[in-house]
Amino acid sequence: MTTFYVTTPIYYANSLPHLGHLYTMIVADTIARSKRQRGIETFFLTGTDEHGINIERAAERNQRTPKEQADYVVSYFTKMTSAFGLDSAHGGYDIFMRTTEPFHYQGVSELWRRLTKAKTPKGRDALYKGHYEGWFCAPCAEYKTEDEYAKAANPADPPTCLIHETKLDRISEESYFFRLSDYDEALLDLYESQPEFVRPEARRNEVKSFVAGGLQDLSVSRLRSSVSWGVPVPDDPNHTMYVWFEALSNYITAIGFGYEQQACAIGLEKFWPPLPLVGKDILRFHAVFWPAFLMAGGVEQPRGIFAHGMWLDPTGRKMSKTLGNTIELDVLHRYFSIDAIRYFCLREMVFGQDGRFGYENLIERTNSDLASGLGNLSSRTLTMIHRYCEGRVPSGAISDSGRLAAKRAGVEDEAAISDFISHARDEFTRYFNEFAFSRALEEAWAVIARVDKMISDAKPWDLAKDEKQSETLRAVLYRAAESLRWLCVLLYPAMPNASKDIYLQLGLGDKPGATNPAQLTWGELREGTRPGEVKPLFPRIDKAKTMEEIKNQKSEVRYQKSEAAETRPSERVQVGDAQTGSGQHTTEAEAVPGVEGILNYIDITDFARIELRVGEVRTAERIPKADKLLLMTVDIGEDKPRQILAGIAQYYEPESIVGRKIVVVANLKPRKLRGYESQGMLLAASVGEEGKPVIATFAEDVPNGARLK
Ligand code: MSP
């Protein structure tokens, strides 16, 4: 295998990114990095699905054009991918595919044209025009059969979608149909001949039984008069292509199907077939419809489709805003390092099964596995090299005479540790190739535990006191450093930042991803290498404090009435349906952060809403029975000074601040504190554990009332 192609689903452009999106991208990114590290030219695709009635409706609600709506959501997606280090600039995806791009229109039209000429395996036309009458769920972008909706109590009312609990649309119109019913045997043959076509095994069985149960033809167009936001059917512009047909085609159009320029830039021949990663809720589209479309289009099948599970909350419930158990991306980003999040996602969810995601678990894992585990091993090893070996990686060799002394100190032969780590590398790679990331990481952590034990047993701090044990001391530190080098290379795809940091600290440069793990050879860490400065990698997180902060932030986000929440009802939610049979619902549409919450970005107009002015403190006094508050009058260039209260009394004497120039938030809504109205707020830095306030001030003379911009 010289090339590899990995894809995530393309995400609906009607709602903002959430944990589910982040997760698949992290997995795809990890796989892509691991392939590249093994010298395989890799193409990683992600992007947005921008057409369809959902986006049209979201745009309408927000008084935008559909394209503006898509651009708006895409801007959040690109911010998210950049903030989490998943974009091309950070070595992540190669293309952020948008279905509104011309190459996609061209490519998908070409596929349609092929279908118009194609015969089914049973010799009939693959595409035909007919008439559709049925119930359509816009959020699912799917027609519903009787067992997929709940009838209304009043027969005159429309039924509701079992997933979204929203009313279905009655559709009765001319439509193109794809003759899916003729593909059952061909699909079953495909699942037989390519046993890994659908993974994991349990999902494969579900897909097989769905197909074996008989397939119905699929309506693949809507009248342009009902859905205009989409790709027009070639030579029949009264019809718009069905959004799933069009969206699934992204995997081929992105790399050049039906569009010469894109084909030259990337290359279908070069990268096809892909490994699509999808959530189990959208497996049927990928494992049944898409292969049938490809058969009709004469395109080779994917190398296999992997369906991952859903993130639930720590008690196993689906995530939803109403339950208050969602994971906000901006909160995640603020409190946790990217690698801690990546590690958690890969370690905690057995790939293919559902997993539980909670801030508490994330903090616990970060503290135990990263701060006390990997981070501590790295810092203690490097600190001791600085302390006992003059800042250079020592020789690991033990002379014959030294061997006895080493034995006496309980230090085993070098082969024991090198064999252990080589075996762990092989297992790690095997698991990685099977996408068993959690198991692979367990192997790496077994190495950490082993090296930690070696250090604790050998006690370098005691060895350093005994001249006769200098070889033993050096050997122990060499082994620890060499193990760390191996760990950096192994862990690079999963934790690119931490591996790079440790690699740098070891004095080996910043490219652990440039070494193929298969080529790791024990002993290649050169004696004399100069480790750099030791920096903490994963500071311990104070669980109680952080949980309290997160709780407060979460409620802030929840109470923000965001535009995104209004666009939300149309987002697709997970369904435990007959095909995937999970019975689990997952992250609901509303389980995404508010617009304001996303990764802390504000734009200039948001900033302009805050009126910051220079003020001069005229008077300041303490308030009886309020230890923390100072009552001040502050001149901000208005007729009368403002009365402002500030929680700085424990750190500033009233008289020390009279006459000081300060920064005042002038348009903060007045509020009462201890019976006094505060008509603004002063700005101060919050310093140290106890949050000591340090008032912001000016080095130059500035007039009262001047605006800060
Ligand atoms: N646009 C379609 C996909 C078209 S691909 C040709 C779509 N988009 S989506 O925005 O709804 O993305 C859904 C993806 O996010 C799915 O893969 C889904 O499984 C995933 N997740 C949504 N909630 C999730 C969790 N709680 N946990 C893990 N993944 C989740 O469907």
pLDDT band at 573 (very low <50, low <70, confident <90, very high): very low
User: How high is the pLDDT of residue 348?
Assistant: 95
Tell me the residue type at 104. Answer: H
- CB 12 near ligand 1, within 6 Å: yes
- CB 451 near ligand 1, within 6 Å: no
129 is catalytic: no
**pLDDT reading at 577 higher than 80:** no
Query: Environment class of residue 459 by beta-carbon count within 10 Å: exposed (0-12), middle (13-18) or buried (19+)?
Result: middle
pLDDT band at 321 (very low <50, low <70, confident <90, very high): low
**pLDDT reading at 568 higher than 80:** no
User: How high is the pLDDT of residue 555?
Assistant: 55
Task: Tell the residue nearest (CA) to atom 24 of ligand 1.
Answer: 20
**Lowest-pLDDT choice from 137-146, 231-240, 318-327, 527-536:** 318-327
Residue 223 CB neighbours (<10 A)? 15
| Contacts of 32 by beta carbon, 8 Å cutoff, 6+ apart | 4, 6, 42, 44, 92, 93
Distance (Å) from CA 687 to ligand 1 centroid: 41
Q: Is the peptide bond preceding residue 155 cis, with omega within 30 degrees of 0?
A: no
18 is catalytic: yes
- CB 11 near ligand 1, within 6 Å: yes
Distances (CA, A) of 64 to 55, 58, 59, 61, 221: 10, 8, 5, 8, 24
Phi-psi region at 538: left, alpha or beta (left = phi > 0; alpha = psi -120 to 50)? beta
User: How high is the pLDDT of residue 614?
Assistant: 95
Q: CA-to-CA distance for 84 and 697, rounded, in angstroms?
A: 34
Q: Which of 35, 79, 137, 144 is catalytic?
A: 137
- CB 367 near ligand 1, within 6 Å: no
pLDDT band at 689 (very low <50, low <70, confident <90, very high): low
Q: CA-to-CA distance for 397 and 415, rounded, in angstroms?
A: 12
User: How high is the pLDDT of residue 554?
Assistant: 61
Distance (Å) from CA 281 to ligand 1 centroid: 7
* Nearest-5° Cα angle at 259, 255 to 261: 80
239 is catalytic: no
- Region 443-449: mean pLDDT is 98
Cα torsion 353, 357, 362, 364: sign: negative
Task: Tell the residue nearest (CA) to atom 8 of ligand 1.
Answer: 11
Q: Is the peptide bond preceding residue 460 cis, with omega within 30 degrees of 0?
A: no
Tell me the residue type at 108. Answer: V
User: How high is the pLDDT of residue 691?
Assistant: 77
- Could you read off the pLDDT of 629-674 as tens digits, one per residue? 999 999 999 989 999 999 999 899 998 899 999 999 998 888 888 8
21 is catalytic: yes
User: How high is the pLDDT of residue 8?
Assistant: 98
Ligand 1 atom closest to 319 (CA): 26
**pLDDT reading at 704 higher than 60:** yes
Q: CA-to-CA distance for 678 and 634, rounded, in angstroms?
A: 11
137 is catalytic: yes
Distance (Å) from CA 419 to ligand 1 centroid: 42
pTM of the full structure: 0.79
Closest CA relative to residue 197, chosen from 213, 577, 29, 205:
205
Helix 437-458 and helix 376-388, axial crossing angle in degrees, nearest 10 = 30
Buried b (16+ CB within 10 A) or exposed e, 142-174: bbbeeebbeeeeeeeeebbbbbbeebbeebeee
- Quick check: 246 and 222 in contact, CB under 8 A? no
Distance (Å) from CA 174 to ligand 1 centroid: 30
Distance (Å) from CA 191 to ligand 1 centroid: 23
Q: CA-to-CA distance for 502 and 425, rounded, in angstroms?
A: 18
Query: Environment class of residue 228 by beta-carbon count within 10 Å: exposed (0-12), middle (13-18) or buried (19+)?
Result: middle
386 is catalytic: no
Q: Which of 51, 104, 318, 554 is catalytic?
A: 318
Regarding predicted confidence, which is higher, 442 or 689?
Answer: 442
Q: Read off the tokens for 126.
A: 């693959």
**Lowest-pLDDT choice from 533-542, 569-578, 617-626, 700-709:** 569-578
- Region 534-563: mean pLDDT is 76
321 is catalytic: yes
**pLDDT reading at 42 higher than 70:** yes
Q: Look at the block and give the residue holding tokens 């049927």.
A: 284
- Could you read off the pLDDT of 256-287 as tens digits, one per residue? 999 988 888 899 999 999 999 999 999 999 99
pLDDT band at 701 (very low <50, low <70, confident <90, very high): confident
Closest CA relative to residue 428, chosen from 520, 352, 364, 512:
520
Closest CA relative to residue 231, chosen from 396, 51, 88:
51
Distance (Å) from CA 282 to ligand 1 centroid: 7
Q: Read off the tokens for 386.
A: 């600085």
Q: What is the mean pLDDT of the chain?
A: 89
User: How high is the pLDDT of residue 74?
Assistant: 94
Q: Which of 164, 500, 554, 661 is catalytic?
A: 164
Ligand 1 pocket test, pick from 586, 588, 592 with the greatest ligand atom count within 8 Å of Cβ, gives: 586
264 is catalytic: no
Distance (Å) from CA 582 to ligand 1 centroid: 15
**pLDDT reading at 594 higher than 50:** no
Q: CA-to-CA distance for 509 and 526, rounded, in angstroms?
A: 13
Q: CA-to-CA distance for 467 and 470, rounded, in angstroms?
A: 6
Helix (H) or strand (E) holding 63: none
- Quick check: 271 and 5 in contact, CB under 8 A? yes
Q: CA-to-CA distance for 426 and 486, rounded, in angstroms?
A: 12
pLDDT band at 620 (very low <50, low <70, confident <90, very high): very high
Report strand pairing: 311-312 vs 218-219: unpaired
Q: Which of 51, 239, 321, 333 is catalytic?
A: 321
- Quick check: 33 and 39 in contact, CB under 8 A? no
User: How high is the pLDDT of residue 625?
Assistant: 83
* Terminal Cα-to-Cα distance of the chain (whole angstroms): 56
**pLDDT reading at 596 higher than 90:** no
**pLDDT reading at 603 higher than 60:** no
- Quick check: 251 and 7 in contact, CB under 8 A? yes
Cα torsion 273, 520, 493, 203: sign: positive
